[in-house]
Amino acid sequence: MLAAVDHLRDRGVAEVSWLPHDDPAVPLRMREDLPYSVVLDYPMAGHLLVQNSPADRVPSHGTELFAGARAIDLVPVDARGRSAPFGPLSVVRSEDPARFPGFGRPVHAVVDGIVVAARDDLPDHRAQRGLPSVTYALTQGRRAAQGWQAMAGNHLLIQQRPGVVVAVCHLQQGSLRVGVGQRVRAGQRIGSCGNSGNSTEPHVHLQAMDGRDPMTANALPITFPGGLPCNGTVVDGRPAG
C-alpha cells in the first residue's frame, strides 16, 4: 500500500483515495479522481471541544507513530465550552477525573463494523493541568516507548471493511459493552469516556488506519457529517441512531 501511495504522489496526485464498495469482502481499490475520507459519527452526545485536529495540521499530534498522523481528540465540555473548573489547586496538583464533564459519558460506535481488538482493564489516572501537565508531557516519550497499548489506554478497534480500521481510545476502565468478533452499528453504546493511556483529561481519541496493527498501519484521512472541524471548535455531538 505504501509503495502505491508513493507512486501516485510521485505523479503529482495530491490525495490518495480509497473507493468504498458495497461488498466488504471486496478489497478497496485506489482511485485518483475521488477524494475519500473515512466518515465517522461523533462518539458522544453533548458539547465536544476539538483538539489536535488534522484540519489544522498533519501530523495532527506531531508524530506519525502508531498510525495517528490524522487522528483527532474530542473533549466533552459544558454549554460554555469549559471543562472542569480551573482553580488555584489545578495549577499545582493533579485532579480526580470524575471532576470533568466527560468522565463516564457514554461513548458510541462511530462506524458500522466488527470489533477486532478491545481492552478495558487499564486504570483511569488522574487528570493533569497546570504544572502537572508539564511534568506529564516530559514523560510522554516513556509511554510511547511502551507501545500502542500504553498510549491508547482502554480502546476498541472497529474494522469497517478490509483496509479501514477505526480506533476509539482512552475509554473508562471496565466500561466496554462489546467484545472482539462482535458486529456493532454506528450509534451503538460501546463504553464510556475515561482517562486511560496517554491522556491529560477525559476525552476520546479517534483515528482511522489501513490495518489492525497501529505499529505497521498507515493513517487514513477522516471526516464527519458536515466536515472536519478545526482546533478550538465546539461541536454538538450527535451519535447516529
- Same domain? 24 vs 66: no
Residue 28 CB neighbours (<10 A): 18
- Same domain? 6 vs 82: no
Question: What pLDDT score was predicted for residue 181?
Answer: 97
Stretch (H or E) spanning 142: helix 140-145
* Count: domains in the chain: 2
- How would you classify residue 203: left for phi > 0, otherwise alpha for psi between -120 and 50, otherwise beta? beta
9 to 4, 6, 12, 71: CA distances (angstroms): 9, 5, 5, 21
- Same domain? 3 vs 53: no
206, β-bridge pairs = 72, 168
Question: What pLDDT score was predicted for residue 8?
Answer: 27
Give the model confidence (pLDDT) of 86-110 as tens digits.
Answer: 877 778 788 899 999 999 999 999 9
Q: Strands of 52-195 (E only): list them.
A: 72-77, 106-108, 113-119, 154-161, 164-171, 183-184, 189-192
47, β-bridge pairs = 77, 236
- Same domain? 4 vs 86: no
Domain range holding 9? Answer: 1-36
Residue 117 CB neighbours (<10 A): 18
Q: Rounded distance, CA 225 to CA 70, Å? A: 17
Q: What is the CATH number of the domain that holds 42?
A: 2.70.70.10
- Same domain? 22 vs 8: yes
Q: Which residue in this structure is represented by grid cell 480526580?
A: 96
Question: What pLDDT score was predicted for residue 20?
Answer: 35
Q: What is the pLDDT along the chain (241 residues), one digit of tens a residue?
A: 333 333 323 333 233 223 333 333 333 333 333 357 999 999 999 999 999 999 999 999 988 999 999 999 999 999 888 888 787 777 878 889 999 999 999 999 999 999 999 999 999 999 888 775 777 776 777 777 888 899 999 999 999 999 999 999 999 999 999 999 999 999 999 999 999 999 999 999 999 999 999 999 999 999 999 999 999 999 999 776 6
- Same domain? 199 vs 165: yes
Look up the pTM and report it: 0.83
Question: Which grid cell is 9?
Answer: 504522489
- Same domain? 139 vs 230: yes
Give the model confidence (pLDDT) of 23-64 as tens digits.
Answer: 333 333 333 333 579 999 999 999 999 999 999 999 999 889
- Same domain? 29 vs 42: no
Question: What pLDDT score was predicted for residue 188?
Answer: 97
- Same domain? 57 vs 2: no
- Same domain? 24 vs 99: no
Q: What is the DSSP letter of 193?
A: B
- Same domain? 27 vs 71: no
- Same domain? 6 vs 120: no
